Amino acid sequence: KAGVTQTPRYLIKTRGQQVTLSCSPISGHRSVSWYQQTPGQGLQFLFEYFSETQRNKGNFPGRFSGRQFSNSRSEMNVSTLELGDSALYLCASSRYAGHEQFFGPGTRLTVL
Amino acid sequence: GNSVTQMEGPVTLSEEAFLTINCTYTATGYPSLFWYVQYPGEGLQLLLKATKADDKGSNKGFEATYRKETTSFHLEKGSVQVSDSAVYFCALGGTGGGSNYKLTFGKGTLLTVNP
């Protein structure tokens, strides 16, 4: 069974630009969660989607948004990038919310 | 809100040494508890989990026991190997289930095992 895949793996952007990251969950998994990992703040929850609906959101500004498609694939978007948005963005999928989460390899975003 | 306090690193051990990484939590209700491991350049892998008090999670020689009375979930391994070198994260699964579910992580502990 294929694991969680994230594309792209690496991304370099400049301040003010926007970026879209993609996550394909494990087949049959309907819940997708996103986390931001930075050296200073550690791992922080961004949001969770289930059946195309955002059901839970972390404490991030509105520049961070996401969506989920009918095939459970998810995208997250960050607009007006800031230097502090440089991070590893991790996607995790689970069959249902509250079930064991499986993580992808992450997308490393660097904002210059 | 929920929080996880994890032993600060880095931790450096010799091969075959005993490992303990302390983890305590604050939560309402009865959360699930997890240890994840992150190898360089990779995402998180679930190492072990426990879903209720007194449960012991175990995998690859690692163990952790869910202690509700001390709100702890310490990770232990009797004999570490060089290949265990990684960052270890203690995590708490939300007690609400359903729409309020999310993982809350500790800061992570970098373990280096020398031959």
Among the partner-chain residues B45, B46, B98, the one whose CB lies closest to the CB of A97 is B98
Burial B11-40 (b: 16+ CB within 10 A, else e): bebeeeeebebbbbbebeeebbbbbbbbee
Q: pLDDT per residue over B80-90, tens digit each?
A: 999 999 999 99
**How much helix, strand and coil, in percent to the nearest 5, is found in chain B?**
5, 50, 45
Provide the pLDDT for residue A77.
Answer: 98
Provide the pLDDT for residue B30.
Answer: 81
Among the partner-chain residues B46, B98, B108, the one whose CB lies closest to the CB of A100 is B46
Chain A contact set for B106 (CB, 8 A) = 42
State how far the Cα of B67 lies from the Cα of B77, in Å rounded to an integer: 17
Provide the pLDDT for residue B100.
Answer: 58
Residue A112: pLDDT band by 50, 70, 90 thresholds? Answer: very high
Provide the pLDDT for residue B72.
Answer: 97
Q: pLDDT per residue over A10-32, tens digit each?
A: 999 999 999 999 999 999 999 99
Q: pLDDT per residue over A56-107, tens digit each?
A: 899 999 999 999 999 999 999 999 999 999 999 999 999 887 778 999 999 9
Chain A contact set for B99 (CB, 8 A) = 50, 55-56, 97
Q: Does A43 touch chain B (CB under 8 A)?
A: yes
List of chain B residues with pLDDT < 50: none
State how far the Cα of A105 lies from the Cα of A5, in Å rounded to an integer: 7
Nearest CA-CA distance, residue A24 and chain B, Å? 14
Provide the pLDDT for residue B2.
Answer: 87
Q: Do A105 and B108 touch (CB under 8 A)?
A: no
The mean of the pLDDT values for chain A is: 94
Nearest CA-CA distance, residue A99 and chain B, Å? 9
Residue of A nearest to B92 (CA): A98
